[in-house]
Structure 1
C-alpha cells in the first residue's frame, strides 16, 4: 500500500543502517549537484518574473568645459552642464509570452526539486545495498572461518593418524591441501568485505576507522519491512520521481512553445522619461525640465525564418520529451514487474536453500562420525564438507538477494519521496534565505 511505503527504512529496525543513511545525506556530491541545479532554476524563476515588471533606470552626469581665450576678441568661457533623467519601460504581455516564460521556469524548478528527492532515494538505496552486501559478506566470512577451522582440525587428526600408521600419507596431503584452499577462499571473502567498506566510506564520507567501529555494532542481516505487492495500481507508478520529472519537463516544453509563438507576434511597450538639465555659461544659469511618454510597437517583419525555426525546435523538443515519457512509463512498468518476479523467486529460493542446508548439515555430521570410526575415507568426508559449505553460502546469498529485491522493489515504486517532499525541503543557501 502507499501508506506502508512511508518511512520504510526506519522499519528495518537497524540503527546502524539508519545512521549510515543519515551520514550519506549530509555530504553527498550527487545531492550537492542537485541543489545547485535547484538554485539555477530558482534564479530562472526570478528572471522570468522580472520580465513582467516595469523597468526603471536613472542616469546622471556632470560636465565642465572651457574654451576660447586666444585673444581679446574671443575671451575664455566656462560651461557647466548637470543633468539627471529617470527612464521607465514596461512590456505589456499581449500574447502571453511573459506568462509562458513564468510557467516554463516554474516547471523547471519543480523538476529540479523532484530530481533532488530522486537523488536522495537513489543514494539511500545505494547505501542500503552496500550495507546488505557487507552483512552478507561478513556472514560468509564466518561460515568460511568455521569451515577452515574444521578442515584444520581434520588435517591435525589426519597427521596424528598418519604418524601412527593408520592413515596413508596421501590422506594427509589431501587434508593439508584442503586446509590451504579453505584459507585462500577465506582471505578472498575478507577482501571482498574490505572492498564494501571502501564503498561505504565513499558514500557516507565517514573515516574508515569510525565506519568499522559503527559496523561492528550491527547485529547481522537486516530484515526489510513488508508492504503489500499483490497488485500494482497505476497511481503507484505516478509516485516514481523519474516520471514526475518527465511530466514537469513536458510542462516546461509546452510553455516554451507558447514563448516561441508569442515571439512571432507584435510586442507593445510603454516607455517614459523625466529629465532635468542645468547649464551654467559664464555665470548665466538656465534650467530645462523635460518629460516624454508613449507606446512603442515592435513588429517582426523579416528575420530570415529564425522565429519559425525557434517554434519548430520548441515543438520538436516537446515531441521528443513526450516520447521519452512514454518510454520511461514502459520501463517503469517493466522494472516493477521484474522486481516482483525477482522478489518472488528470491523468497522461494531462500526457503529451498534453507531446507537444503539443513539436510546437508545432517549429512556431513553423519559422514564425519563415520570417518572418525574408520568407515569413510577422507575424500568422501571432504566432498560432504564441500556440499555443506556450499549450501550454507547459498543460504546467505539467497537471504541477501531477498533483502536486495525488497530494496529494488521499494525503489521501483518510487520510495516515499512523494510524502517526504511535504516535510523535507531542499536546503537553502544563506543568500537564498534573505
Structure 2
C-alpha cells in the first residue's frame, strides 16, 4: 500500500500544494488612489464636519418617532427577509463545501431473481442479494476542496454585505418617507396660512364693495386668488398620504395599516449639529456594496484555484465491505468481500477543456476587479454629488427664506395701504400672490434640504452595524 501511495502523492503535488493564486486585496485600484482617500471636495462650507458617521445616523435628528420607525422596518421589511434567506442559503453552500473534508460513506443493497438459460432449473429461479458499505476520504493534495471552501466563505461574506446594503437602503427609505409626511404637513400648514390671509382680504373686499368702495371686479379677483391658492392643498394631502402608504410597506404592513401616529407630523426633523461625513477612506471602508464587490474578487479567485486543481490528479483513500451471492449462501465465507486502497481520477486527456475553464475563471476575476473599481468610483461620485446638491440647495433655501421675508413685509405694507385708501387693490393682490409663491417655495426648499441630508447618509453607506 505505501509503495503505491508514494508515487501517487508525488504526482498530486507535482504543481503546488494548493492550486491557484492566493487572494490579496487589490493594491492598485481606485480605492487606494490618494484622491479617493481624502476629504470630500464638496464637503466644505461649515454645513458638514469630518467627524465619523455613526451607524444609526437617524438618531442624530433626536426624533423618537423616526427612531422607532427605522427599527421596526429593520425587523420586518420584506426585502430584508429576502436578504436573510440569501445569506442562509450561502451558509448552507459553505457547509456543503466543508463536508468535502469529511469521510464520505454510502450504503447500497439490492436483490435479484435470475434463471440462467439452459440450466433446466424450475421457476422462479435463484434469488440473489448484494449488500455493501463503502467509505472514501479525499486527500485534497491539489487543494481543490480548500479552494472551494474559500470561495464559499467569500460568498457568505458577500451575502452579509448584500444584506447590509439592503439595510442602508431601508433605513434611508424610511427616513425619506417620514420626511415626506412631515414636509407635506409643513407645506400644507404654510399654504393654509396663505389661503387664510387671502380669504381675509376677500372678506374685506366684499365689505368694502357693500359699503360702496371698490368694484365687483375687485371681489372676483380676490376670490380667484383664494381659490387658486386653495387648489394647491390637495396635492400636499396626497403627498402626505402616499408617504404614509410607503411607510406601511417599508414596515412590512398593508398600506391601509399605515402608522397613524405619524399622520400629524408637522415639523421637519432638524439636525442639531453639522452633518458628519468622515472622508473618502471611511466611505470605502463603510460602504457595504464596496465590500460585496471585494468579496466577489476573493470568491472568484478561489474558484480559479478550483479550476486549476483539475490539472492535477484527484486522490482519495477508499474502502468497502460487502456481502453478495445467492440467498441460500447468506453468511457463508464465500459471500463476504472487502477492498481498501487509493482511488485516482484525472482528466488528463481533456486538458483543453480544463484550460478553457481556467481561462473563464481568470476572465471572471478580471471582470470583478474592474467592477470593484467601478463600485468605488460610483460610491465616491454619489457622495460628492449628494454633498454638492445639499450645499447648493442650502444656498437656495437661504435666498428663498429672504425672499419670503421680503414678500411678507411687502404684503403687510400693501394691506395697510389698501385699508387706509392709499393703495390700489391690484397692488394688494400682486403682493399677496408674491407672498403665496414665496412661502410655498421656501417651504419646499426646507423640505428638500431634509431629503438631501438623507441622500447624503445613504451615499455614505450608513445604517448597518
TM-score of the pair, normalised by structure 2 = 0.81
Deviation at 1:237, TM superposition (A): 2.0
1:9-408 counterparts in 2 under 5 A? 9-62=58-111, 79=126, 81-206=128-253, 211=258, 213-216=260-263, 218=265, 220-224=267-271, 226=273, 229=276, 232-277=279-324, 279-281=326-328, 287-303=334-350, 305-408=352-455
CA distance in 2, matches of 1:274, 1:67: 27
2:217 & 2:234 partners in 1: Cα distance? 26
Q: Would you say the 8 A contact 1:243–1:329 is kept in 2?
A: yes
> Following the alignment from structure 2 to structure 1, what is the Cα–Cα distance between the partners of residues 328 and 269?
91
Partners of 1:16 and 1:166 in 2: how far apart?
53
Superposed CA offset, 1:319-364 (max 9, x none)? 1111111111111111111222222223333333333322222221
Instruction: State how far apart, in whole Å, the 2-side matches of 1:193 and 1:284 are.
Output: 83
Describe the SS at the equivalent of 2:231.
helix
Query: 2: distance between equivalents of 1:77 and 1:230?
Result: 86
* C-alpha distance in structure 1 between counterparts of 2:371 and 2:348, whole Å: 36
User: Which secondary structure does the structure 1 equivalent of 2:101 belong to?
Assistant: coil
Structure 2 stretches lacking a partner, 5+ long: 1-49
**Is the alpha carbon distance of 1:139 and 1:416 closer, same or farther for their aligned partners in structure 2, counting shifts above 3 Å?**
closer
Query: Bigger shift: 244-253 or 160-169?
Result: 160-169
Q: Distance in 2 between matches of 1:51 and 1:286?
A: 35
Shift of 1:65: 6.9
Say which SS state the counterpart of residue 106 (structure 2) adopts: strand
Deviations along 1:131-154, whole A, 9 cap, x unmatched?
A: 112211111111111122222222
Q: CA deviation at 1:282?
A: 9.1
Task: Give the number of the structure with larger relative contact order, counting CA–CA contacts within 8 Å between residues 6 or more apart.
Answer: 2
- Aligned partners of 1:344, 1:77: CA distance in 2, in Å? 93
Is the Cα–Cα contact under 8 Å of residues 140 and 393 in structure 1 kept in the other structure? yes
Tell me by how many angstroms 1:25 deviates: 2.4
Alpha carbons 1:131, 1:200 under 8 Å: kept: yes
* Aligned-partner SS, 2:341: strand
Q: How many angstroms apart in 1 are the aligned matches of 2:370 and 2:218?
A: 68
In the other structure, the counterpart of 1:428 is none
Distance 1:67 1:261 in 2: 50
Aligned residues: 415
SS of residue matched to 1:334 = helix
- Once the 2 structures are TM-superposed, how far is the Cα of residue 222 of structure 1 from its aligned partner? 0.7
CA contact (8 A) 2:52 2:278 kept: no
Question: What is the CA-CA distance between 1:397 and the residue it aligns to?
Answer: 2.1
Distance 1:58 1:227, change over 3 A: farther
Report if the CA contact (8 A) 1:246-1:325 is conserved: yes
1:60/1:283 Cα in 2 relative to 1: closer, same or farther (>3 Å)? closer
Confirm or deny: 8 A CA contact 1:279 1:287 kept in the other structure.
Answer: no
Contiguous gaps of at least 5 residues in structure 1? 421-434
Tell me how large the CA RMSD over aligned residues is.
2.8
TM-score by length of 1: 0.87
Shift in CA distance, 228/382, structure 1 to aligned 2, threshold 3 Å: closer
Q: Classify 1:94/1:128 alpha carbon distance in 2 versus 1 (closer, same or farther; 3 Å).
A: same
Over 3 Å counting, the alpha-carbon distance change for 1:150 and 1:278 in structure 2 is same
